[in-house]
Structure 1
Amino acid sequence: MATNLKNFMQVGRKIVAVGRNYRAHALELGNQVPTKPILFLKPTSSYITEGEKIKIPVGCSSLHHEVELGIVIGKPGSRISEQEAMNHVAGYVLALDMTARDFQDEAKKKGQPWSLAKGFDTSCPVSSFIEKKSLTAPENTRLWLKVNDAIKQDGNTKDMIFSIPFLVSYISTYFKLEEGDVILTGTPEGVGPVCEGDVIQAGLGDIVSFTFQVEKS
Structure 2
Amino acid sequence: MNYAIAAPAQPSLPIIGSDLRFPIRRVFCIGRNYAEHAREMGATVDKSAPMFFCKPADAVVSDGADVPYPQATSDLHHEVEMVVALGGGGRDLSPEQAAALVWGYGVGLDLTRRDLQAQAKAKGHPWDVAKAFDHSAPVSALRPAAAVHVGADTQLWLDVNGERRQQTTLGDMVHGVPQIIAALSTLFELQAGDLIFTGTPAGVAALQRGDRFHAELVGIAELDGVVV
* TM-score for both structures, normalised by structure 2: 0.88
Q: Which residue matches 2:90?
A: 77
For residue 34 of structure 1, the aligned residue among 28, 43, 46 is 46
Q: Which residue matches 1:17?
A: 29
What pairs up with 1:116-195 in 2 under 5 angstroms? 116-195=129-208
Q: Which residue matches 1:49?
A: 62
Contact 1:15 1:41 in 2 (8 A): yes
Name the CA distance, whole Å, in 2 between partners of 1:23 and 1:135. Answer: 27
Name the CA distance, whole Å, in 2 between partners of 1:140 and 1:176. Answer: 31
Q: Match for 1:102: what amino acid?
A: D
Name the CA distance, whole Å, in 2 between partners of 1:206 and 1:93. Answer: 11
How far residue 45 of structure 1 moved from its aligned partner, in angstroms, is: 0.9
Structure 1 or 2, whichever has the larger Rg, is 2
Is the partner of 1:165 in helix, strand or coil? Answer: helix
Name the CA distance, whole Å, in 2 between partners of 1:163 and 1:102. Answer: 29
Contact 1:50 1:127 in 2 (8 A): yes
Count residues with an aligned counterpart: 210
Q: Match for 1:7: what amino acid?
A: R
Contact 2:63 2:140 in 1 (8 A): yes
Contact 1:77 1:88 in 2 (8 A): no
How far residue 30 of structure 1 moved from its aligned partner, in angstroms, is: 1.0
Q: More helix per residue: 1 or 2? A: 1
Which range moved further: 185-194 or 77-86? 77-86
Name the CA distance, whole Å, in 2 between partners of 1:16 and 1:7. Answer: 19
CA RMSD of aligned residues (A): 1.5
Name the CA distance, whole Å, in 2 between partners of 1:154 and 1:39. Answer: 22
Contact 1:12 1:178 in 2 (8 A): no
Structure 1 gaps, min length 5:
none
Structure 2 gaps, min length 5:
1-13
Name the CA distance, whole Å, in 2 between partners of 1:102 and 1:26. Answer: 17
Per-residue CA deviations over 1:173-194 (Å, capped at 9, x if unaligned) read 1111111101110001111001
Q: Which residue matches 1:67?
A: 80
Which range moved further: 72-81 or 27-36? 27-36
How far residue 140 of structure 1 moved from its aligned partner, in angstroms, is: 3.0
Q: Match for 1:12: what amino acid?
A: I
How far residue 154 of structure 1 moved from its aligned partner, in angstroms, is: 0.9
* TM-score for both structures, normalised by structure 1: 0.92
